[in-house]
Structures are given as structure tokens and as C-alpha cells.
Chain A
């Protein structure tokens, strides 16, 4: 009896909790844009880290100037591409509703 009651109460609580997102309106468009933005932000940070790493390696004498220039040029081009994609997202995000935490 105690087990059945516990089962029912817990199942009801869990069902109420896990269906919270299902009871919201579908916000696929702006959520997808916000997600893409977050991914690009992460990619941007990673690229910045690579550029800083390469700069530090060069300053510490681990790579020649010619090699560093080539690497740096390549990495900065990749970073600029990410920034362009981020800027392209701006109107899309701005048009949608603000993306909260756990929607």
C-alpha cells in the first residue's frame, strides 16, 4: 500500500515536471537561432584561444616567424568567418523572443 502510494505520488510529480516544456508554445525558430548563436560563441572563444596559443608559442620561440604568420593568418580568417556568421544571426535573434534559460 505504502509502495503503491509512493509510486503514484512520485509518478505524478515527475509527470508534472517533465511535461513543463510540452505545455509551452513551440518556439522553434528563435530557439534555434539562439542555439546557433551559442554554438558560434563557443566556436569563437575556441578560435580566440587557438590564436592566443599560437601567439604565445611564437613569443616563446617555438615556431619560426614565417610559420607563425601563416598559422595566424589562417586562424584569423577562420575567426572572422565565425564573426560574420554571428553577425548574420543578429537580426534573426532580435526578431524572435528573448531566449530564456530552460525553455
Chain B
């Protein structure tokens, strides 16, 4: 099986080389058959990589420990879900995932454009093939996932316990789909530059792929934040960690790109900016992959070794320098077809939105790479923390949300005073009412940035509501439809527009959650014995009793030992009452030859926090526990001395007794408790954004089947009324 998998990758590499050669030969000699053949080669590449990936999944599912990668990241007792997803916790597996997604995206894009963009497609094929060659070469020559042991070990290491969380297992494929997806518009942009076809064709051909990439990347970032919140045990969802930042940066420039391409499509402007943005986005996507895998910056999320640093950097430099040179050479072909009519227009808002997004990206880039920059300049490595990021990103985020409200309603080309009055009167009035209500009814004024964000959220939601209201009104006036029918048809026939508006509402809700939970969180770290009570925010918290579970893993992570606590929580006003069960999982380490001996090794491996959260739209009650295991040292030593030579079954009984000792004679435990108002709106906002993106992506039915036959003007009117 390993031989077949290796052969798939090697033949895949040769196929990618052929695809590049055939595409370029076909383009240069105008021989269509060679261009078609290069496309077929990319299809074949997808088939080969899917086969290799499938073979590796079979090895994981059957716990075939002759595969080194399976031994590294799985074991016979690893739960099935984590066996399936364990591959991408390794460097070799994540590279293969990259190639898999690239080959599928490439095949899909080339199939979609097989009858269009005749001049551009061969060069785009060559670029996509070139990217595939790089990643396949790494997989074949440097980090083969099909390396096997002559004599397989008896046991696998199992999956890193920190990664045993559903969100974390779905998170990498989502992020990689985002990173890889941006290679499609990048490749077509390069093709368009080479062939001097710098109009909006390449944007139209790849817009859907850019939106898919943006959606996957955003969803991946959200899943990463959710994992951080519910698994890492520190209580937050975003720590401005280098790897988190690396995933956010291409999303920000990708967001800017999705907005600015509309200006090029409508007005033929911002051509240089758009190709520069997509180059930047793709380079940042490569950088994101590199940061996770290189270990160049210290991160809680960096699970890779540092063996691929040099080739990755060389590849990123090649892509960046090559693209910049190409853009500079083609500057005369990238002149705008129109001029900005007015500073008060949709185009201007989009330009401002782009500057803010790129500004946020630059701040994050600077903060993320500051340790390397400071070391290069001063010789001393120093880093910046969350307060540094927050001081710059917070005001920029406020501007961004404001623009998310202004953009949808301001007119293209120029907006008159009458337009502006009509567009903003109601939303501004509603935002003002929101501000007044917040000042009178809530303590929101304690945090000015949060107060502004809440007000802006009201503004954005009012704008989106008004757009829907007026759109329904316009359809009713034109077609005499009932309001529900008008709403349905309005959205169905303008999916890109209204999908975008829904995304704007989602981003406003997300920032509402960020602002409220950051400014008004109640956090308390406290050490309690069973029966003791403390207060957190408006809640009374009582440590009722400890829990100790042996071979009874209820969280599905495969942990052999779990210590936790039963916590009773009651609102001080006597109303809300609930129980939480935070815990900590312990995994075995080594073979018993270490200092803690046969029984101690079960407590010496990785341990993970199993947070318990009372979710709510008004507030979350979040709790984590850190058991104090010092009381178990004496019984473990005693067991090592007396029972180390017993057979396995008997040792299991002894271990069960040690574990149960924690429950019978519990030591105090340390608890971290957070009461976070409205934090759920981060996830709700993310969900709304996802819905909006799916709405914008949903294909329009029947558009391709329309054909034309008759006199132009009449035909235009007829077709438009049908569309």
C-alpha cells in the first residue's frame, strides 16, 4: 500500500511537470490539443493525489503502524474520528492535504474555464502546476507520508491530546482550503498579466473561487478561535498568536480583494491594486502554511518541525519577486479605464475599506514578525503582546464596521446630498437611539470603544434592514408581488448583493460579541476545597464534589484518566441555577522507566483542559479546573514499590484505586471562571457571515442556458425582464 501511495506521488510530480510543459508549449505554439492535454494532466494529478490520500486514510483507519506517520499521530486506541483526521496533525500529512486541495481546486477551476479565457488558461495551468510541483517535491523528496518501518513498533504515539477537539480537526482542512483556494485567482491573475488580458475576465472567471477560499478561510479562523476558547483553558478565543495572525492576514487582504474587484468589474479601475492584492493574499497564504510548519516563531499552535524553512522561504521569495516584476512590466496594460467621479461614492468607500483592511493586515504583520525584526535590528529578540495589537486594531475595526454600514447604501459614481439624506436618515436615527438606550439602560459607557462598536452595530443592522425593506418595496412596485414573494425573489435574483449584506450584518454581530466580551468580562482564579463557595460577577459558585474517572472517557478523546469537579452555580438574584463539570484529561507517557515509574507515567504525559461552558446569548459562564495531584505522589510511589511487577490486569486495578483516591480524599483545586457577556455573538456573527457567503456563492439557475436571437434593443429588454 505504501509503495502504491509513493508511486502515486512520484507519478503525480511527473504529471505536474508535464502539465506545465504542455500548457506552455500549447500556449506558445497555439496548439489547442496540448493545452487540453495539460488540463487533462491536472485532472490526472487530482486523481493520483486523491488515491494517495485515500490509501493513507486506510492506513490510519486500520492503525497500520508500519507507516511512520500513523505511528507519530495515531494508535490502535485512538477514537475513529481522530484517526480519520489525525493525518493533518503531522507535517507530511498536512503537505499532502495541501496538494490534495490544490489538485482538486485546480481541476475544478480548469474545468470551469475549459471553454473560456483561451489565452490566459494555459499560463494559469502552468502556475498551478508549478505550485503543485513545489509541494509534491517536498512530499516526494523531503517529507514523504509513505515512509515505513521495516519492523513496526508495538504502539503508536496517538494524536496530540491538545488536538483532540472536533473544531481543531475540521480547522486545518478549512484553513488550507482557504489558503489553497486563493491560488486560483492568483494563477489566473498571473496568466492575465502574461497575456496582457488585464480586463475583468480573470476576475469573473475566478470570483467564485476567491469567495469559496475566503469563506473556508474565515470559517477556519472561527473554528480555531472556538477551539482556543473551549479547549486551551485560558479563557480567551484570540491571543494574537503568530499562527492565529498568519491565518487572519490573508483573510483580511482577501476581503479587500473581494471588494475592490467590484470596482474593476464595474468601472475598469484599480487594476494594479487588484493584482497586487491577490499576489499579497497568496503570498500571505503561503506564509501562513510556512509559519505553522517552520517553528520560526514560537506559537501555541505551531505543531511542526523546522525542516522545511529554507525551501518554503525560497518558494515564497520566488512567487513574490516574480509577481512584482511581472506587475511592474505590465503597468502600461493596467491603466484605469475610468476616473473617480466623486470622493462621495461607492468606489471611494471601497478604496477606504481596502486601505483599512490592508492597514490592519500591516499592523498584524508588523506585530507578528516583530521578534524577528527586533532581533535583526537590535540583536535582541523582543515581542509585542495583545495590548499592542489592540491599540491599533481597535480603532481600525471601528472604522471598518462603520464602512460596512456606509458601503451598501452609497451610490456608485457619485452620491448627491439628497441620496445621502435618503440613505442614511433612518440608520443614523436608529444608531442614535441605540446609543441613547445604551447610555441610559446599560453600563456600556464604561468602555468608550465598546459603546461606539455597539452603536455602529445598530447602524449596520439598520442599513441592512433598510436595504431589504426598500428592495422589497421596489420589487412590489415593479411586479406587484406580495412582501414574502418579493423578498424571496429579491434575494434569489441578487444573491451576490444580498449575500454580501448578510455578511456585513454578521461581521457587525461578531464585533458586537468581541466588544462586549472584551470590555465587560468578569474573570476570577480561585482555589477551593469541596463545599467551599465564592462569587464571580453576579454568580455564587460552589465546589460541590470532585470527580475521578478511569477508562471512562466521556469527551470522546480517548483519555484514560480524567479528574474534574461538580460545580453548582446560582445567580445572586436567586433565579438562574445550573451545574458545571469542568475536568482535566491525563494521558500516559513513556513506558514506566522514567522517574515516576510504572504508575506515575499515567499522570506524566500530556494533559488537556476540558472546559465546561454554560452557553447563552446574553452571557457565557466558562469554567476550567486545574486539579492538584501532589496528594497522589505518595500513593503512586507506594504502588511503584509494591505492585510494579504485577501482571497488566492487576496493575489496572491498582491504578483505578489511585485514581479513586483523588475522589475519596480530594485536595483543593484551582478554578478559572469567566462570565463573558454576549460572547456567543461572536459565533452567531460567524454563522451569519457563513450563511451570507453561501448565499452569495449559490449558483444562479438557468443563466447559462439563455440564448439570444433577435433585434438587440428588444432582445435586451426581454432578456433583462426574464433574468
- How close is A54's CB to chain B, nearest CB, in angstroms? 8
In the complex, what distance in Å separates the CA atom of A31 from the CA atom of B32? Answer: 8
Please indicate the chain A residues that have their CB under 8 angstroms from the CB of B413 in the complex.
63, 67, 71
Query: Which of B4, B8, B117, B493 is in CB contact (< 8 Å) with A39?
Result: B117
Q: Which single residue of chain B is at the shortest CB-CB distance from A80?
A: B712
A3 touches B6 (CB 8 A): yes
Across the interface, do A48 and B720 meet the contact criterion of CB distance under 8 Å?
A: yes
Say yes or no: is B683 at the interface (Cβ < 8 Å to chain A): no
**Closest B residue to A84 using CB positions:** B712
Is B36 a contact of A60 with CB atoms below 8 Å?
no
**Residues of chain B contacted by A32 (CB below 8 angstroms):** 32, 118
Q: Is B28 part of the contact surface with A, judged by Cβ < 8 Å?
A: no
Report the separation of the CA atoms of residues A82 and B18 in the bound assembly, to the nearest whole angstrom.
37
A27 and B720 form a contact (CB under 8 A): no
Interface centre among A20, A48, A60 (most CB of B within 10 A): A60
Distance in angstroms from B390 CB to nearest chain A CB is 36
Residue B44 CB within 8 A of the other chain: yes
What chain A residues lie within 8 Å of B32 (beta carbons)? 26-28, 31-32
Q: Do A28 and B37 form a contact, CB below 8 Å, given A11-B11, A34-B115, A63-B411?
A: no
- Asked if B134 is at the interface of the complex by the 8 Å CB criterion, the answer is no
Question: Which residues of chain B from 458 to 501 have a CB within 8 Å of any chain A CB?
Answer: 467, 470-471, 473-474, 477-478, 493-494, 497
A18 touches B477 (CB 8 A): no
Cβ–Cβ < 8 Å partners of A62 in chain B? 409-411, 415, 419, 422-423
Do the beta carbons of B7 and A3 come within 8 Å of each other?
Answer: yes
Contact with B along A65-86 (1 / 0, CB 8 A): 0010001000010011001101
> How many A-B residue pairs lie within 8 Å, measured between CB atoms?
155
Answer yes or no: B524 CB below 8 A from chain A CBs.
no
Contact A80 B716 (CB under 8 A): yes
Q: Is the CB of A18 within 8 A of B11?
A: no
> Of the candidates A17, A64, A87, A99, which one forms a contact with B416 in the assembled complex, judged by CB atoms under 8 Å apart?
A64
Residues of B within 8 A of A92 (CB): none
Interface flags for B7-44 (1: CB within 8 Å of A; 0: not) read 11011001100100010000000111110110011011
Within 8 A of B (CB), among A1-24: 2-3, 6-7, 10-11, 14, 17-22, 24
List the A side residues contacting B713 at CB < 8 Å: 76, 80
Contact of B471 among A2, A6, A41, A56 (CB under 8 A): A56
CB distance from A12 to the nearest CB of B (A): 10
Chain B residues near A53 (CB-CB < 8 A): 494, 497
Residue of chain B at shortest CB distance from A83: B712
Count the A residues whose beta carbon is within 8 Å of the partner chain — how many? 59
Given the complex of chains A and B, what is the CA–CA distance between A45 and B265 in angstroms? Answer: 13
Q: What are the residues of chain B within 8 A of A42 when measuring CB–CB?
A: 116, 201, 204-205
Given known A83-B715, A86-B708, contact A17–B36 (CB-CB < 8 A): no
Which residues 31-78 of B have a CB within 8 angstroms of A?
A: 31-34, 36-37, 40-41, 43-44, 48
Q: Are A103 and B201 in contact (CB under 8 A)?
A: no
> In the complex the two chains form, what is the Cα distance from A60 to B494 in whole Å?
14
Q: For window 232-285 of chain B, which residues contact chain A by CB distance below 8 Å? A: 265-266
Residues of A within 8 A of B33 (CB): 21-22, 24, 26
Judge if B634 is at the interface, Cβ distance under 8 Å. Answer: no
Which residue of chain B lies nearest to A37 when distances are taken between CB atoms in the complex? B115
B44 near A99 with CB under 8 A, answer no
Q: Is B375 interfacial (CB 8 A cutoff)?
A: no
Find the residue from B34, B116, B723 having the highest chain A CB count within 10 A.
B116
Q: With A and B bound together, what is the CA distance between A96 and B22 in angstroms?
A: 25
| Pairwise interchain contact A6-B474, C-beta atoms closer than 8 A | no
Q: How far is the CA of A87 from the CA of B708 in the complex (A)?
A: 8
User: In the complex, which residues of chain B have a beta carbon less than 8 angstroms from the beta carbon of A39?
Assistant: 116-118, 201
A17 to B107: give the CA distance in the assembly, Å. 14
Excluding A18-B22, A48-B723, A52-B720, 12 further A-B contacts by CB distance (< 8 Å) are A3-B3, A3-B7, A7-B7, A14-B14, A18-B40, A19-B37, A26-B32, A28-B32, A41-B704, A42-B116, A57-B412, A63-B413
Which A positions have Cβ atoms within 8 angstroms of B? Answer: 2-3, 6-7, 10-11, 14, 17-22, 24, 26-28, 31-32, 34-36, 38-39, 41-46, 48-57, 59-64, 67, 71, 76, 79-80, 83-84, 86-87, 99, 101-103
Please list 29 pairs of residues, one from A and one from B, whose beta carbons are closer than 8 Å in the complex, sorted by A's number. A3-B3, A6-B8, A10-B4, A10-B7, A18-B22, A20-B40, A21-B34, A26-B32, A26-B33, A28-B30, A28-B32, A35-B116, A38-B116, A41-B704, A42-B201, A45-B704, A46-B204, A48-B720, A50-B265, A52-B723, A55-B720, A59-B474, A60-B467, A60-B473, A67-B413, A76-B716, A80-B716, A83-B708, A102-B114
Q: Which 7 A-B pairs have the closest CB atoms?
A: A21-B36, A59-B474, A6-B7, A3-B3, A38-B115, A2-B3, A10-B11
